[in-house]
Amino acid sequence: MSNRDRPLSPHLQIYRPQITSVLSILHRATGVALVAGLLALVYWLAAAAAGDAAFAAAQGFLASWIGRLLLLAWTFAVFFHLANGIRHLVWDMGRGFELKTVTASGWLVVAVSAVLTLLTWVAAYGLRGSGT
Amino acid sequence: MSASLRTALGRVRGLGSAGEGTAHWWAQRLTAIALVPLTLWFVISVVMLTGAGRGEVVGWLARPFNFGAMGLLVGAGIHHAQLGLQVVIEDYVHAEPVRVAGLMAMKFAAVLLALVAAVSLLSIFVRG
């Protein structure tokens, strides 16, 4: 990087966002978000092992509005990363690289993760009610 | 046969230009495939356990299948996560000392997290 004036490849701010590029960075972002989710899961397991007081504190946090917001975000992140991860595995087999297919599979991933997120929360509230 | 600039030894070792071969890539795919059924099992389980008290959660976790599946989920999940975080750090942290220190801290933290999860799960399995 000795010559700072040399031309650079298109910037994120200049390059028009496309379904391919947006989902690509979203895959990384949801992956990082799921690391936080993994920390929360291990905290929850440790609290369950520790005893009633620790577990009640963990459940209290997760049931708070900020806890529920985090859980909602993690639900979408897990389904998106899962669906888009399968899309990546198909690419690894050398399939689905046609532009039309890449666009279609991208929107399919978005639709599947949105629907599964909604279904999960409807099921969770339906099974236990909103009071708990 | 087409000419290759790669030496015979280099071709046999199969480590490529980065000198690391496909181990990282392969481990990322293996854990990804393992995590597909484990993640689906986990989401369904958590939905079923919504609002459950500690007794119910511990009783559920102490069942051999759930104990094993949770262990595999956390194990494969942490391995997959640290492989992914490694790439993120390598991509964005350009100052070498910071990058190496960050990678070390992240790898140590991953092992520590796996240890906490293993001790917690074993404790629940053995003592409830």
- ipTM for the predicted complex: 0.91
Whether A119 contacts chain B with CB within 8 A: no
Query: Is the Cβ–Cβ distance between B80 and B38 less than 8 Å?
Result: no
Count of domains in chain A?
1
Is residue B58, in this structure, part of any structural domain at all? yes
- Where chain B has pLDDT below 50, the residues are none
Report CB contact under 8 Å: A128, B51.
Answer: yes
Q: Which of A107, A102, A29 is nearest to B85 (CA)?
A: A29
Chain B residues closer than 8 Å to A55 by CB: 54, 57
Distance CA B86, CA B99 (A): 10
Distance CA B51, CA A67 (A): 13
Query: Is the Cβ–Cβ distance between A89 and B32 less than 8 Å?
Result: yes
Query: Is the Cβ–Cβ distance between B76 and B36 less than 8 Å?
Result: no
Report CB contact under 8 Å: B120, A120.
Answer: no
Is residue B38, in this structure, part of any structural domain at all? yes
Give pLDDT tens digits for A71-111: 999 999 999 999 999 999 999 999 999 999 999 999 999 99
Is residue B14, in this structure, part of any structural domain at all? no
Please give the C-alpha separations between residue A103 and each of A21, A23, A30, A110, in angstroms, as whole numbers: 11, 10, 20, 11
Is residue B3, in this structure, part of any structural domain at all? no
Residue B99 structural domain: 23-127
